[in-house]
Structure 1
Amino acid sequence: MREFSVPASATVSPEENLTDMVWANADRFANTVSFRRRVEGSWIDVTAADFAAQVMAVAKGLIAAGLQPGERIALMSRTRYEWSLLDFAIWAAGLVSVPIYETSSPDQVEWVLADSQAKAVIVEDADHRSRVGAVVDLLPEVRHVWQIEGPDARTGAAGAVDELTALGGAIPNTRVRARSRAVHADDLATLIYTSGTTGRAKGCELTHRNILAEVRADIHAYPRLLEPGNSVLMFLPMAHVLARAIAICAVYARTTLGHTSQIAGLVSDLGTFRPTFVLTVPRVFEKVHAKARAQAQDSGRGRVFDAAEETAIAYSRAHEGGGPSLGLRLRHALFDRLVYRRLRAALGGRCVAAVSGGAPLSERLTHFFRGVGIPVLEGYGLTETTAAACVNTLDAARIGTVGRPVAGTSVRIADDGEVLIKGEIVTRGYWNDEEATRQAMSDGWFHTGDLGELDSAGFLKITGRKKEIIVTAGGKNVAPAALEDRVRAHPLVSQCMLVGDRRPFIGALITLDVDALAGWRARRGLGAAKAGEAGKDPELLRELQRAVDTANESVSTTESIKRFRVLDEDFSEENGDLTPSMKLRRSVIARSRAMDIESIYRT
C-alpha cells in the first residue's frame, strides 16, 4: 500500500485557541482535579478553577511587563507544574512560547534566543540563569529574565510565578480575556527548535490549530486513557513535543496530570502518584527490564526471571494467533504472582498502558511488557507533525509497527520509500527559513526523512532513516555534523563519525591523522607506530579525550559523546567509507565497523 488516510474525528474552528480549554474547565468543572503538584514530598490537588486563576494571574503579569501580542517568550526548565502553568499563561497573554531544553549549552541558548527574537526568558534555577546570563548581554531584544525557583538568595526576589502575579495585580481580568479572544486557530502558538543536518536547530512553527488537531486526534486514539478520572505522571522533558502534547491532552480531557523531573526518585513518585498510564521513551523500559533482571540474578532468582520473561513473550505472541494454550495460561498465572505483579507495582499498581515514542522499542521487550500486563503503545511522529502522526492503540496494535495514522492524517510512501505526512497536525514551516520549509513541504505533504512501509491495514513500519539525524534510545534528536567537525578540529584527528541511533548514548568512531601522529610521537621521543597500535596508547587516549571534552562543550549533555573508539585505519574513498566529495558514507561505515560500534556500548 502506498497511502492510508484516517478521517478527522473533530474539526478546529477558526476562532479557537489553546486557552479555551482552561476557561471552559473552570466554568463547567471547577472542582475537577486538573493537576497534582508535588510540594515537599506530598501531592497537592490543583482544581480546574485554581489552575485557571493562576493562569490568569501570571498572564496579567506578562502583560504588565510590556510584552505585546505575538512576541516570543522562552521557557527553560525541567519538568514541573510551573511548566504547564507558564505555557498556558503565555498563550493567555497572546504570546508565543519557545521551549529550551534545560540541558542546552550557552551557545545553543544564544542561538534559540537570537533566532526567535525572544523578548523574555523564564528559567528554572540559578544554574539556568547563569547560562542565559552568559549570553543575554549579547541579545538586546531580551528585556526580562525571570526565575521559577525563589526567593533568590542574592536579591531576595520572589519566584517567577509570584513575581509576575504581583506585577499584574493592577491589570483587570478583561485585559487577559481580550488578549486571549484575539488569538485564532491559525496564529502561531509555539516555536520548537529541532536539530537539522547542519547542526543549527530550526524553529518549527506550530499553530494553535496544529496543537488542537493533535490533542483531539490523541484523545480519539486513547479514549480509555485520556478521560476524566484517569491520571498521567509526566517525567519526560516538557521541551519535547510529545510530552507537551500529552500534557495539553490531559488538560483538555480533564485527566489529572502530575510532573516530576527527579528520575532517581521516579519509582517512588510512581508509587505515590499511581498513574493510570505513563508516557515514556524506550530507554525507560530498557532500564526497568535490565534492573529487574539484575536484581533477580543478584538474589539467586535469575533462572526464575528468565523463565518468566520467556513466558510473558510467548503469552503476548499467542494473543496474535489462536490464543495461549492451557499450559501457557497456567505458567503465566504462576509468574504473575512471582514476577509480573512486582513490575506492575513499580509503575504504581494502576497503570494499564504506556505510550511510547521518540525511538523504537525492540519487539521482544514490547511483547515482554504486554505479557506482563503493561501494553506499550508505540507511535511515530516528529516535531513537525506536532508529536504523534501514527499510533498503536489498545484496540488496534501491531507490535513491530508504529500504528496507523491519527484522525485527520494521511500517510504516503514516496517512490523512494520516504514517509510523507499530510494533515492539520503538520507544521506550516520553519521560522525565518523559507528554503528549509520549501525542501520539507511539497503539495501539502511533509517529507519526514524516514523510510517506511504501509501494510494492507494501514499500519506503518519504519524501516530506516533517510536523514542523518541520530535518535537515541532516550528519544533525543542529535545532528552529528557540527560535533564531528569540532572533534576533527584537533590535529591528531582525521575523521570522526558519531553513532548512537537507538542506543542509550552518543558514541564516536575516530580515525587518526598519520602525519600528525608521527609528529606527536616524535615530540615525545617515541618511535613510529601504526595508527591501530597508537590508538591503544594511554597518553594518546587522554589527548583525544580532551578533544572530545572540548567539542562536548558546544552541546547539551544528552548530545555529548560519552565514549569513543579509535579505529585501526582511516576512512577512505577507496574502501567505500567516503564519497568523492569526502562525505561520510554512514551506512557503509556502520556495517563495516559494526564490531567497533558494539564495543562502545559493551559494559
Structure 2
Amino acid sequence: MEPSRLFDLIPYQIATYDKEIALSKKEAGQWKSFSSRDIKEIVDNLSLAFLKAGLKQGEKVAIISENCPEWNFIDLALQQIGGISVPIYPTITSSDFEYIFDHAEVKMIFVGDQVIFDKAKEVCGDRFIYSFSTIEGAIFWEDFLAIGVNESIEPLELLKETVKPDDMFTIIYTSGTTGRPKGVMLSHTNVLSNVLSIAAIMTPERGTSRVLSFLPLCHIYERTGSFCFMYLGFSIYYAESLETLGENMKEVKPHAFNTVPRLLEKIYDKIVAKGYELTGIKKGLFFWALNLGLDYDPGGHMGFWYDFQLKLANKLIFSKWREALGGEVLQINSGASALQPRLARVFWAAGIKVCEGYGLTETSPVISASICTNEEMRIGWVGKLVKDVKVKIAEDGEILVQGPNVMLGYYKQPDMTDEVLQNGWFHTGDIGELDGEFLKITDRKKEMFKTSGGKYIAPQLMENKFKESTLIDQLMVVGENKNYPSALIVPGFEGLKDYCKHKGIPYTTDEEMIQKPEIIEKYDREIEQINKYFGKWEQIKRFKLLAEPWGIESGELTPTMKLKRKVIFQKFGKEIEAIYQD
C-alpha cells in the first residue's frame, strides 16, 4: 500500500524492505544503527509521550539540532498525533529563535547540544526544553520517551486515523535574504507528492543503497530527501560534521547524497590545490585530465580520440577523485543555488554524476531535477520538471508553478500568501526559460537591477561565471543606478597562494596580499578575461578585494549559503561608494 501521509513511510518501509540499518549515527567512534522496526517502536512511544505530556493536535514543537536519528524520531512522532514540527537552523541568532518561538506559538523545544540549549534558554520563556544529549537544565529525550513506553497503543492508532493527507505537518521558517523569516506551511500531500516524484528518477538500487546525510534536516531540501530515502529503502548515515565529511565518505561508501554547490566548489578547489602541489609528469597528467574534463559534455558525442583520452584520464587521475568520495557514488543531487557549469562538466567527466535540481521551500521543494543519464543531462539547466508539477513563464520571465507540492501558505501572513499565490499559480521570484520539460534559471527577479543607462544587469548569472576562477571565492555584483557594474570580491586564497608560489611572490597575510599592486593587477587581468563572456554594459569595470570571507554567522549568507545582498550593501557601503568616487 502506497503511503498517503509521511508517517506511513515507517510501516511501508517495514513491509517493503524491513531494513536492518535504516538510520545510523556515529557515537563514541562507532556507528550506532536503528532498524525499520526500531524506528516504529521509538516513534510510537514518543507519540504516546507527547500525548501524555498534554500536547494537542495542531500544537507546535520546535526542533533545533544538527542531523541525527533523534531528529527524525521527534518529527515522525509529532506527525502521528497531528502535532506540527517547527524546525529551526541552529546557527541563527537567539533573537530569531525568540521570534519563531513566539510567532509559531511553540509549546515545547528539542535541542541538540549545549550551545543550542544555552541560546534557546535565553529566550524560551516558560517552555520546557528537551535535549538529544545530556545537558544540565534540559530533559533528556530518552527520559521523555520513557513516559510513553507502557501506555496503550489504541488511542494512538485512533488518532493516526484522524490525520488527513492535506493536513499541515510542519512550518518551516525560510532563512530569507531580507527581513524576518516567513513561516511556510506544508502538508503531508505537499511533501509526499514530491517524495514520490523524486523517487521515480533516483538511480541507486532500492532497498540496498547507502546515503550520507550532512545538509541540515531543518531545510526542506534535505528533509524531503530523507523521506525519499526512507521510501526507497536506503540506509541513511548521518555525517559527524562537515570537518569529518571526507572520513565519513570513506567509511560509509555512499551510493548517493545531497549537497549544495558551495561544498562541491570547496571539494574541487581542494583537488586543484593538491594538483598544484604535484611536480613533473604527475602534475602534467593531472592538469591534462582536468582540462579534458572541463570540455566534457555528458549528452554530446565527443569523438573517438577524446573518448580514448578520457578513459585514460579516468584510470590515471579521476579514479582517485571517486575514491575520495567512497568509491561507490552513483548520484549526487545538487540544489539550493546555481551550480557552476564547469563543475558539472568535470565531475561528470570523472564519472561522478552531479544532478542539479531547482525548487523552493514553498514548493516542498523540487520543481525540476536532472535525470541521471548522459542522454538527458543538460549542463547549465536545472533538469526536467518532476511528475505532477507544471511550470509556465510569465511575460516578465518569472517562473510560475502549479502542483500538489505548492505550500498551503505563509503562517499568519495572508497578505504575503496572496502576493505569491495568484490565480492558482505560485510566483517563484526567479527568472527562467523553459524548453519543453527542461528548465533553466537565469536570475532572481528582485535581484536584477538597472544601471544609470537603463541597462538591465542579472547579477547571479555573472557571479556564477566569475566564481569559475580559482582566484575568486565569493563575489557580488553592484552598480544599481550607477554608470557601470562593479564587484566586491573575496579572493580564493588557496588559489592566490598557488599563484604567488608559481610567480615567486612572497605570501605574507591575506590582508597584506590584497593591497599589493601586482595582486590587484592580476585580478584586473582575471576580471578582463571573464568579462568577454558578457555584453559591454554588463562588464565589471572596477572591484574591491576583501580579506574576510562572507559567512552564515557573520550575517552575509543565509543558512543555504545565498548572498544576503542587503546586509552586504550595509556592511560594505563605504567600500562600494569608494569604487565609484574616482
Same fold by TM (over 0.5)? Answer: yes
Query: Which of residues 396, 407, 419 is equivalent to 2:387?
Result: 407
CA shift, 1:360, in A, is: 1.2
Q: Find the counterpart in structure 1 of residue 253 from structure 2.
A: 274
CA shift, 1:95, in A, is: 0.7
> Quick one: which amino acid aligns to residue 351 of structure 1?
V
Contact 1:78 1:237 in 2 (8 A): yes
Pairing of 1:135-284 with structure 2 (within 5 A): 135-137=123-125, 143-150=127-134, 152=135, 154=136, 159-160=140-141, 162-196=142-176, 198-222=178-202, 224-225=203-204, 227-284=206-263
1:467 matched to 2:446? The reply is yes
SS of match in other structure, 2:109: strand
Cα separation, 1, equivalents of 2:99 and 2:426:
25
Q: Find the counterpart in structure 2 of residue 55 from structure 1.
A: 43
Pairing of 1:444-463 with structure 2 (within 5 A): 444-455=424-435, 457-463=436-442
Pairing of 1:323-402 with structure 2 (within 5 A): 323-325=302-304, 327-395=305-373, 396-402=376-382
Cα 1:367/1:570, change in 2 over 3 Å: closer
Q: Find the counterpart in structure 2 of residue 481 from structure 1.
A: none
Pairing of 1:499-578 with structure 2 (within 5 A): 552=554, 565=572, 567=574, 570=577
CA deviations 1:310-332 (Å, max 9, x no partner) are 11233x32x4333432x223322
Cα separation, 2, equivalents of 1:401 and 1:555:
24
CA shift, 1:11, in A, is: 9.2
Contact 2:333 2:356 in 1 (8 A): yes
Q: Find the counterpart in structure 2 of residue 311 from structure 1.
A: 292
1:297 matched to 2:285? The reply is no
Contact 1:498 1:506 in 2 (8 A): no
> Quick one: which amino acid aligns to residue 308 of structure 1?
A
The Cα RMSD (Å) is 3.4
Q: Find the counterpart in structure 1 of residue 110 from structure 2.
A: 122
CA shift, 1:163, in A, is: 1.6
> Quick one: which amino acid aligns to residue 445 of structure 2?
K
CA shift, 1:509, in A, is: 8.0
Q: Find the counterpart in structure 2 of residue 104 from structure 1.
A: 92
Cα separation, 1, equivalents of 2:72 and 2:273:
37
Contact 1:60 1:164 in 2 (8 A): no
Cα 1:565/1:432, change in 2 over 3 Å: closer
Q: Find the counterpart in structure 2 of residue 33 from structure 1.
A: 21
CA shift, 1:379, in A, is: 0.6
Cα separation, 1, equivalents of 2:390 and 2:460:
33
Cα separation, 2, equivalents of 1:39 and 1:228:
25
Cα separation, 1, equivalents of 2:478 and 2:161:
54
Cα 1:306/1:555, change in 2 over 3 Å: closer
Cα separation, 2, equivalents of 1:506 and 1:432:
36
CA shift, 1:102, in A, is: 0.7
Cα separation, 2, equivalents of 1:70 and 1:54:
21
> Quick one: which amino acid aligns to residue 206 of structure 1?
L
CA shift, 1:498, in A, is: 13
**Residue correspondences, number:** 490
CA shift, 1:469, in A, is: 11
1:18 matched to 2:2? The reply is no
What TM-score, normalized by structure 2, do the two folds share?
0.77
Cα separation, 1, equivalents of 2:308 and 2:176:
51
Q: Find the counterpart in structure 2 of residue 586 from structure 1.
A: none
Contact 1:32 1:254 in 2 (8 A): no
Taking only the aligned residue pairs, the percentage that are identical comes to: 28
- Listed as ranges, the gaps of 5+ residues in structure 2 are 450-458, 468-472, 480-514, 516-545
| Greater mean alpha carbon deviation, residues 172-181 or residues 51-60 | 172-181
Cα 1:566/1:431, change in 2 over 3 Å: closer
1:75 matched to 2:63? The reply is yes
CA deviations 1:109-160 (Å, max 9, x no partner) are 11111111111110111111111111112xx5xx32101112x2x35x6631
Contact 2:442 2:461 in 1 (8 A): no
Query: Which of residues 278, 285, 304 is equivalent to 2:264?
Result: 285
Cα 1:322/1:500, change in 2 over 3 Å: closer
> Quick one: which amino acid aligns to residue 205 of structure 1?
M
Contact 2:255 2:330 in 1 (8 A): yes
CA shift, 1:552, in A, is: 4.9
Q: Find the counterpart in structure 1 of residue 505 from structure 2.
A: none
Cα 1:554/1:336, change in 2 over 3 Å: closer
Cα separation, 2, equivalents of 1:249 and 1:149:
27
SS of match in other structure, 2:264: helix
> Quick one: which amino acid aligns to residue 148 of structure 1?
F
Contact 1:505 1:562 in 2 (8 A): no
SS of match in other structure, 1:119: strand
Cα 1:28/1:418, change in 2 over 3 Å: closer
Q: Find the counterpart in structure 1 of residue 456 from structure 2.
A: none
Q: Find the counterpart in structure 2 of residue 574 from structure 1.
A: none
SS of match in other structure, 1:467: helix
